Amino acid sequence: MTPETPAREIPSTDIDPFSMESLADPFAADGAVREIAPVVHIAKHDYYAVTRFADIRKGLRNWRVFSSTDRPFYEDSEFRPRIVLFEEPPAHTRTKSAIMDVLGPKNLGWMGEYFKEQADTLVDKLLSEETVTADGYMDLSIGYVLKVFPDVIGMPEEGREALLKFGSAGLNTFGPDSEHRARKLAAGAEAVAWVERNIDRDALSPDGLGAQLYAMADEGRISEAEARDLVKTVFAAGFDTSTSGIASMLRAFGDFPAEWQKLRDDPDLVTAAWEEALRFYPPNRFGGRWTPNGADVDGYRLPAGAKVLMMWLGAARDPREYDEPDVFKIDREMPNGHLSFGFGLHTCAGNLVARLEATTLLRSMATRISAVERAGVPRTAINYQAFGHEYAPLRLRRA
Ligand code: HEM
């Protein structure tokens, strides 16, 4: 847009992305908003949605324009520390490099071995008969992640199920006040005491990722309070997202059984399969931003101070970016990738761990299971910011 070109008027919609109807089918709701325009005013809440793949990706490249220091529905919360996600350089550079260091290559080797050992054990145990029925959420995703993730961080065994409620509450904070939100936050509040106790230095085992963050405080790289907040962020950001992603991937295989055969024929497709699962069912629905000085999106002008939802779940099914977006295709070409780990400055700090965790389980399953099919009606969890399955019934045939 040049200074002479008048900005196009941003259309407004009565579709409420946070209504119970939208939460029951966010792909339909966010897809409908996406097809109105690249930027849409959400009348009910007076926020703006950036809806399409190319515009979200472009916007996220510029953190000064789409700032993350504030966002729709923001209020201080015991579930979501401000560290990293709400920060910008230079503070963000320091804290993100600390957390990336711990969640990066230096720890991936031993984690990978441990993940494999646990995945193989779990899958072998599950396949007690030639054909078994299992819940992709509880039996596989939770059974695996609730073991390996807290173990590598160094959390105690006892009470770790608190992570389920804590994660779910955290991802329900960014939405309007409602009975649904109040219920989720109340359930999460029960988990907070456990979390607060177990992010303390003394509660963590000396050889886990949590202890490594505290060691950085000892070296003066970050403060003691920042180390504690980073451990809490790992608790908050890393559990629900991974469990949702894995359960959703398994549901997708149940619905598209021919894709499992492709994986059996070429188990090296595990990496591509996980990326496609993240695209097909993004575990995180949107990112919140604001525009301190306004922003241009494809000829539309967002005002200064606008609160913005970057709707990457809707963008994951954008036909302008993906052929047959509603089809789960594990060998799909994705030249621009997907937005399910975010993009730009705030790209997920735990993406390598999440990728390792999920692909290790998938590889273990692919070598042991000859066929996967749906065995009942799956159920998605109702959540403002997360998307995932709380029930994914599957029939698995032993290879
Ligand atoms: C499938 C699993 C996961 C998904 C889909 C996911 C998704 C995301 C997304 C979309 C963002 C960007 C948010 C934004 O820009 O507003 C993000 C950021 C982040 N994630 Fe993840 N995440 C996953 C797993 C993890 C894990 C396992 C950890 C930690 C162990 C983690 C830690 C973080 C942190 C610290 C940030 C903030 C990064 C920053 O602000 O620079 N995530 N994640």
pLDDT tens profile 189-247: 888 899 999 999 999 999 999 999 999 999 999 999 999 999 999 988 899 999 999 99
CA within 13 Å, CB half, 379: 6
Ligand 1 and 234: CB distance under 6 A: yes
Atom of ligand 1 nearest to the CA of 60: 15
For 7, 13, 40, 55, the CA distances from 295, given in Å and listed in that order, are 11, 20, 13, 11
Spatial CB neighbours of 200, under 8 Å, sequence gap ≥ 6? 228
Going from the Cα of 282 to the center of ligand 1, the distance in angstroms, rounded, reads 12
Ligand 1 and 287: CB distance under 6 A: yes
Ligand 1 and 99: CB distance under 6 A: yes
Q: What is the pLDDT, as a whole number, of residue 4?
A: 60
Residue nearest to atom 11 of ligand 1 (CA): 348
- Burial environment of residue 387 by CB neighbours within 10 A (0 to 12, 13 to 18, 19 or more): buried
- Testing ligand 1's pocket by substitution, the residue of 240, 241, 243 carrying the most ligand atoms inside 8 A of its CB is 241
Q: What is the pLDDT, as a whole number, of residue 172?
A: 85
Q: Residue 237 is which amino acid?
A: A
Residue 86 contacts residue 173 (beta carbons within 8 Å): no
For the chain, domains (ranges, CATH) are: 88-286+322-398 (1.10.630.10)
Cα–Cα distance, 206 to 291 (Å, whole number): 42
Residue nearest to atom 17 of ligand 1 (CA): 348
Cα–Cα distance, 215 to 197 (Å, whole number): 18
Ligand 1 and 242: CB distance under 6 A: yes
What are 155-192's pLDDT values in tens digits? 999 999 988 888 878 788 889 999 998 888 888 888 88
Query: Sign of torsion, CA 343 345 346 350?
Result: positive
Ligand 1 and 170: CB distance under 6 A: no
Cα–Cα distance, 205 to 197 (Å, whole number): 13
Ligand 1 and 241: CB distance under 6 A: yes
pLDDT below 50 — which residues of the chain?
none
Residue nearest to atom 19 of ligand 1 (CA): 348
Going from the Cα of 238 to the center of ligand 1, the distance in angstroms, rounded, reads 7
